[in-house]
Amino acid sequence: MKTGNIRIAENIRIGGASGYWGDASLATPQLIAHGNLDFLVYDYLAEVTMSILARARSVDPSLGYAVDFVTTAMGRNLKAIAAQNIKIISNAGGVNPKACGAALQKLIADAGLDLKVAVITGDDLRADAEHFQAQSVTEMFSGAPFPNPKSVASINAYLGAVPIAKALNAGADIVITGRCVDSAVTLGACLSAFDWPLDDFDKLAQASLAGHIIECGPQATGGNFTDWQLVKDGLVNIGYPIVEIQPNADFTVSKPEGTGGLVSVGTVGEQMLYEIGDPQTYILPDVICDFSQVHLRQTAKDCVQVTGAKGRTPPDSYKVSLTHVDGYRAGMLMSFTGFDADKKAQTYADAALTRAEYLLKLIKLPPYSETSVEVLGARSQYGTQEAATEVVLKVAVRHEAAKGAGILIKEMTGLALATPPGLSAFNAGRPKPSPVVRLFSFTIPKGDVQININIDGADMTIQGKLFKASNTAAPKTPDAPLHPEHTDELVSVPLIKLAWGRSGDKGDKANIGVLARAPQYLPWIWAALDTDTVQAAFAHFSPSRTERFYLPGVAAINFLLHDVLGGGGMASLRNDPQGKAYAQILLAHPVLIPENLAKDL
């Protein structure tokens, strides 16, 4: 319901127009043309994005934000946005929200439009690096000491939704933030529209789940979907997600009519499980969510209803993400074709690394602190190596100096005429070493963070707790599925026949969400996939431990593998530093089920 800046009591429609920095430019015009929207929300930021934006700002103080949000998403669509009275919420501000806001205000003025821009700041804590070091702040997961402040690229607190809601209530048409949790752009819209009390935690959890589902754009509408064959013909025009949220916080997920993709229990369920840890303790600045009893129901073609998220009092602190430079990395991709391609690739990699290490000694540089060789196409991602006639070789190293990392590149290209036969490469020229950007997480009391909202030169300040502590009790852990009884013979089927799966990363952790295609399959999946089994399936990636969580509401399991990504993100030398393929690996695992159940597959 369109109401300008007046809070409303009817359903609101929110379109998710961006899932990362670089998402497709077609999302905004598609949603504007077909969405009948009240809000458009944009998520641009990941930890690695913050470090990239910080480097851009260090070169040019007017940069450090997602420029294409201003020039493309807004620049091409501002008149339509204004005509339809659609409110915009985006974390495109990156490490320089003020510059983003200024660029947007100029664009609005040049277009002759009357739109108010709010800029939210306070998340950037880079100036406090030496203070944090003096306070002996340690990494919240590993206990590592605070890095050298000179190596720090960015320090940002994950802010919540309340500043966004306050900006909207103060008359903002467009809200620009720096770092906030991805789902806050959706929750902020709901807090403004429905005027929910900040301690109505079940509603806050439901709206946060809505934000979580649309924060990765088309991953809720058929992208990255296990049953990709169902959507392959519509990927060119895949629809971006829309959530329609009721005043009681129940919501539906859909997409614009006439677009490609699919909205189903499978696509929405996979996205719900994406990049979470303990589903009963999904911690956000505004609420701690419990997704274990969420229910998904297909109500119409390309429309899924979502209910059942619960919430409790959030923590007194903000999580803070710091990125810092920890040496350099370099690597190359090359292909080998023909008999014994896998062995040829391994031989070439061994020779290049040996020569590079020899040269390091000659010039009195220390050895590589880490090396990585993966022969893709020979089942290296499954922990084995099988004969193959066509492979891609990835070789990478980490060194404290850019010069040391670059030696590998020189030696790999220098060996090209001495290689086993069948070598080829697409890239022209040598890749250059790049910084290893490592993530360091910690917490800071909310009272220590001053948040500022600026609208047309007027400032508002928020500081301290933003909620009332009313519900702090942790939920009861669901009882595990009963061990299935049977009288039939058991047969082995791959997990993919019984479940959908999706995996992702949080720092150096990976999660694998497994959603049963039918509830009757879940006990058999649970019996087949205990923590020891999953730990063993990924032993070649050396997880330190594996946790398993049960979500009875959607008949799902979430696995959390710790210290499994080689540092994760830009700190990792892996071909898959974010665990995106882990679900695909697990979906090949055999599961024993009764023969009569297998007949229905």
Q: Which amino acid is at 162?
A: V
Q: Which amino acid is at 205?
A: A
Average pLDDT, the chain: 94
CA distance 500 to 515: 5
Q: If you average pLDDT over residues 465-480, what whole number do you get?
A: 77
Q: Dihedrals φ, ψ of 275, to 5°?
A: 55, 40
Each residue's pLDDT tens digit, 431-455:
999 999 999 999 999 999 999 999 9
Pairing of β 288-290 and β 282-283: antiparallel
Q: If you average pLDDT over residues 36-45, what whole number do you get?
A: 96
Each residue's pLDDT tens digit, 408-426:
999 999 999 999 999 999 8
Residue 374 has pLDDT above 80, yes or no: yes
> What is the model's pLDDT at position 324?
94
pTM over 0.85: yes
DSSP, collapsed to helix, strand or coil, labels residue 507 as coil
> What is the model's pLDDT at position 446?
94
Residue 398 has pLDDT above 60, yes or no: yes
> What is the model's pLDDT at position 6?
46
Each residue's pLDDT tens digit, 130-168:
999 999 999 999 999 999 999 999 999 999 999 999 999
Share of the chain above pLDDT 90, in %: 88
Confidence of residue 600 (pLDDT cuts 50, 70, 90): confident
Each residue's pLDDT tens digit, 255-265:
999 999 999 99
Residue 539 has pLDDT above 80, yes or no: yes
Nearest-CA neighbor of 398 among 541, 571, 568, 146?
571
Residue 534 has pLDDT above 70, yes or no: yes
CA distance 597 to 576: 35
Each residue's pLDDT tens digit, 70-117:
999 999 999 999 999 999 999 999 999 999 999 999 999 999 999 999
Share of the chain above pLDDT 70, in %: 97
Q: Which amino acid is at 72?
A: T
> What is the model's pLDDT at position 487?
83
> What is the model's pLDDT at position 48?
77
Each residue's pLDDT tens digit, 544-555:
999 999 999 999
Residue labelled with tokens 């047309």: 456
Nearest-CA neighbor of 91 among 148, 33, 150, 18?
18
Higher pLDDT, 273 or 466: 273
Higher pLDDT, 464 or 111: 111
The DSSP letter of residue 178 is: S
> What is the model's pLDDT at position 9?
60
Task: Measure Cα distances from 11 to 36, 81, 311 in Å.
Answer: 12, 19, 21
Nearest-CA neighbor of 107 among 130, 74, 138?
74
Residue 470 has pLDDT above 80, yes or no: no
Rounded to a whole number of angstroms, the distance between the first and last alpha carbons of the chain is 44
> What is the model's pLDDT at position 527?
96
Spatial contact of 501 and 587, defined as CB atoms under 8 Å apart = yes
